[in-house]
Amino acid sequence: MTPDGASQGADGGDGRSPVPDNVLLRQFLATRSAECPVCGYDLKALPTDRCPECSSSLRLGVYSDNLRMGPWFLAVVSWTLALGFDGVVLAILLTVLAFIERPQSPGDIRTVAFMISSFGGLAIASAVGLWWVYTRRKTRWLRWPVRTQWTVAVCMFVGVGLGHALYGGFLMSRV
């Protein structure tokens, strides 16, 4: 790629003028079928660098199957849902405690303290899981084969959901 945005010719730079990207795109599509990444329209023999169906601008590029964001997004959603649920339950507990009814007996105080610390701990664990997937693992995640990405994402989703359900059942048995 040259500073003016044009690509070097396919000849490896033998001194000819660089070929603009839109010309390379049209040359590529002159003999090949390729779908528009936005609407799926067949772009074979496209005369411009815009899709005639949806008007999206197009460019020629190199991509990897590993860059599918669905599995990574599912993992992020798993932890985000858990954090949201834990945060809402914690907020409700604290609101009831502060404004509606304060526990009177020592047993009630212990139960409320246990519930608040439990959901506070779950919220912290969910925040750490979200942080870990979102910031520390994205680059490594994308290096995994797509099948592995989906397997890990589904395991996270099921694990986080099942973990919360089991812990919720445990808490309900104590109340």
Query: Against a cut of 0.95, is the pTM above it?
Result: no
- What's the length of the chain? 175
Residue that terminates a domain, selected from 29, 45, 62: 62
131's CB contacts (< 8 A; 6+ apart) are none
Residue type, 166: L
Q: Tell me: do 74 and 154 sit in the same domain.
A: yes
Q: At what angle do helices 70-95 and 146-174 cross, to 10 degrees?
A: 20
CA dihedral (166, 169, 174, 175) positive or negative? positive
Q: Tell me: do 58 and 72 sit in the same domain.
A: no
Query: Each residue's pLDDT tens digit in the chain (175 positions)?
Result: 444 444 444 444 555 667 788 888 888 899 999 888 888 899 999 888 889 998 888 888 877 776 778 888 999 999 999 999 999 989 988 888 888 888 888 888 888 888 889 889 989 999 998 998 888 667 788 788 889 989 999 999 999 999 888 988 887 887 6
Name the residue range of residue 40's domain.
Answer: 1-62
